[in-house]
Each structure stands twice: as C-alpha cells, then as structure tokens.
Structure 1
C-alpha cells in the first residue's frame, strides 16, 4: 500500500467553477496554468504543486482520492476548504 503521494490541485470556492475548470482540462488546458490563474491555495503560485505528502497528512476526503484515485486523471473533491481538482502524479 502506498505511503506517500505527489499531487497537484486547484482549490476554488464553488462547485460550478470547479466543474468549469474540469471541462477546460478535458479540452486540453494545462493544469498548472489553471492553478496559477484560479486556485485560492498558496500552492497555486507553483502550478498547484503540493509536493510529496504522507497518508493522513491531508483532510480525509482529499487523502482518499490521493491514495486510491486513478493517477494523472483529475478528480473533483469537496472539503471544508472548498472544491479541489486533484491530479495525483505518483505514489510510493
């Protein structure tokens, strides 16, 4: 079982905005560019890069996708912080 994951994410307040960004990604938009432009998380400045983190470090809803969701495919996740689009790059 994976102990660490490396992910990118975009954090926004509203589901409608998150769904719009997902649609843009599906049409070929660059994840890092959208993160820099729209993410409310400080990681947005780095293209949404959260780096590598351990299981249990993130809120449960985020953790679940980070450690069991499909790699590279963007996932929509709701947490107490808002709506995340999570792209898991790899797990170790």
Structure 2
C-alpha cells in the first residue's frame, strides 16, 4: 500500500464549476492553466500542485481519492473546503 502521493487540485465553491472544469480537462485544457484561473486555494498559483504528501495528511475524503482513485484521471471530491478537482500523479 502506498504511503505517499503527489497530486494536483483545483478548489472551487460550486459543484457545477468543478464539473465544468473536468469537462474542459477532457477536451484537452491544461490542468495548470485551469488551476491558475479558477482555484481558490493558494496552490492555484503553482498550477494546483500540492507536491508529495503522506497518507493521513489531508482531510479524509481527499485522502481517500488520492490513495485509491485512478492515477492521472480528474476526480471530483467534496470536502469542508468546497469542491476539488483532483489529479493524482503518482503514489509511492
């Protein structure tokens, strides 16, 4: 089982906006460009890059998708912070 993951995310307030971002990604838009434009998280300035983190460091819903979700696929996750579009780059 992986103990660390490296992920990108885009944080927005509304589910509809997160779903729209996923559609744009599926049409070929760059994750980093969308993160810089839409994310309300400070990581948006870095293209949504959260870097590498350990299992248990993030809120449970976010953590679960990062350690069980399909790699390199945008996932929609709701947390107390809002709606995240999460793309897991790798796990170690």
- TM value normalised by structure 2: 0.99
What is the CA-CA distance between 1:45 and the residue it aligns to?
Answer: 0.2
CA RMSD of aligned residues (A): 0.3
- TM value normalised by structure 1: 0.99
Aligned residues: 92
Which blocks of at least 5 consecutive residues in structure 1 are unaligned? none
Alignment of 1:64 with 2:64, yes or no, is: yes
1:4-83 matches, within 5 Å, as: 4-83=4-83
Cα shift readout 1:4-58 (whole Å, capped 9, x = no counterpart): 0000000000001001111100100000000000000000000000000000000
Which blocks of at least 5 consecutive residues in structure 2 are unaligned? none
